Amino acid sequence: MSGTAENNTRCGFVALVGAPNAGKSTLLNQLVGTKVSIVSPKVQTTRTRVLGICISGQSQIAFIDTPGIFAPKRRLDRAMVAAAWGGASEADEVVLLVDASKGITRDTEEIIARLKDTQSKVILALNKVDQVKKPVLLDLAAKLDAEGVFSDIFMISALKGNGVDDLLAFLAARAPEGPWHYPEDQISDLPERMLAAEITREKVFLQLKQELPYRITVETENWEERKDGSVKIDQLLFVQKDGHKQIVLGKGGQQIKKIGAAARRELEEILDCKVHLFLFVKVREGWEDDPERYRHWGLDFNV
Ligand code: GDP
Ligand code: MG
């Protein structure tokens, strides 16, 4: 007899794709139960492919959180879209997240067209059902079902958690048999440095809201674990213009202080230790055309 209770495990890779703001990061965080991917009301905050890992019964599911898929214009956009589809082709299952409160947008139409081209079937998760009336929702589900590119349809609220367990159980049952790829307690293989940078970047977004110098990157320069159990983290915040630097710093450095305090609190929670966080703002013009930056983010410069 082959297969005892112990080795009857399953392990699958699932790509989450969808238009910007569909709720991919929110779903990932809900599934994994800890913050692994940044969530922001602004579009296009996810630049890196984040892997969140969760366990359901005997199955381990590794989620690939892709940047949003949309009609790309600039080089950076093209690189992100290529990365998103790249992530999808490596996965065992693809879950397309659609914001049900927006109906069928141009982005969704483009994704469906692309799925028809490649003749691949994906799982549809209609998200934000907490914001949509039942009849509207059912009508939308019927329309999308008629496209013939979805193997299964789930209705979820990534934010509130409705339907998320059902989706996870479904994915767990479908995962290929095999050993787990990751240790049981590992929730993300995103290097901690990058996660820390993402957290700070999220705080910049939240803190600056409208005045935001949109193109800002954060890099963790230094990570030092100290004897007393604390961690010292130095990060560089790159902005494109001198004016942006002033905005990020704020009057008398008030803005950057608030950003740093919020990021530090969250880092202490996640890392479960005292954190000394030092932020430096630098102007770096033209980074969008610098191949090195693309490599840093795991993106392909030449698409
Ligand atoms: P992503 O760009 O696809 O990763 O989208 P995010 O996860 O960053 O979510 C974009 C926005 O939608 C955020 O403001 C979320 O709080 C919100 N959101 C995500 N899921 C839900 C949901 O199920 N219900 C509601 N009401 N809002 C949601
Ligand atoms: Mg996201």
**Sequence ranges of the domains in the chain:** 3-174, 192-297
**207 pLDDT band (50/70/90 cuts)?**
confident
In whole angstroms, give the CA distance from residue 220 to residue 236: 6
The number of the ligand nearest the C-alpha atom of 22 reads 1
Which pairing describes strands 50-56 and 59-65: parallel, antiparallel, or unpaired? antiparallel
Total-model pTM: 0.66
Nearest CA to ligand 1 atom 9: 23
Q: Which residues pair with 44 in a beta bridge?
A: none
Asked if pLDDT for residue 38 goes beyond 80, the answer is no
Q: Residue 176: what residue type?
A: P
- On whether the CB atoms of residues 131 and 94 are closer than 8 A, the answer is no
Average pLDDT over residues 112-125: 80
Tell me what pLDDT residue 53 has: 82
Pocket of ligand 1 (CB under 6 A): 18, 20-26, 39-41, 46, 68, 127-128, 130-131, 157-159
Q: CB atoms < 10 A from the CB of 217, how many?
A: 19
Asked if pLDDT for residue 249 goes beyond 70, the answer is yes
Lowest mean pLDDT among 83-92, 211-220, 243-252, 254-263: 83-92
- Hey, CA dihedral for 30, 34, 37, 41, is it positive or negative? positive
- Give the angle 134-66-279 at the CA atoms, nearest 5°: 115
Nearest CA to ligand 1 atom 19: 23
Which is more confident, 128 or 189? Answer: 128
In whole angstroms, give the CA distance from residue 121 to residue 128: 22
In whole angstroms, give the CA distance from residue 64 to residue 294: 19
In whole angstroms, give the CA distance from residue 289 to residue 189: 28
- Hey, CA dihedral for 66, 68, 73, 76, is it positive or negative? negative
**34 pLDDT band (50/70/90 cuts)?**
low
Query: What homologous superfamily does CATH list for 3-174?
Result: P-loop containing nucleotide triphosphate hydrolases (3.40.50.300)
Asked if pLDDT for residue 71 goes beyond 90, the answer is no
Tell me what pLDDT residue 272 has: 81
Tell me what pLDDT residue 48 has: 45
The number of the ligand nearest the C-alpha atom of 46 reads 2
Q: Does domain 192-297 have CATH number 3.30.300.20?
A: yes
| Substitution candidate for ligand 1 out of 35, 39, 102 with most atoms within 8 A of CB | 39
Structure tokens at 125: 């998760």
* Nearest to 10, CA basis, from 185, 161, 170: 170
Q: Residue 297: what residue type?
A: W
- Give the angle 10-50-75 at the CA atoms, nearest 5°: 135
In whole angstroms, give the CA distance from residue 149 to residue 122: 7
The number of the ligand nearest the C-alpha atom of 39 reads 1
Nearest CA to ligand 1 atom 6: 23
In whole angstroms, give the CA distance from residue 223 to residue 212: 27
In whole angstroms, give the CA distance from residue 27 to residue 158: 5
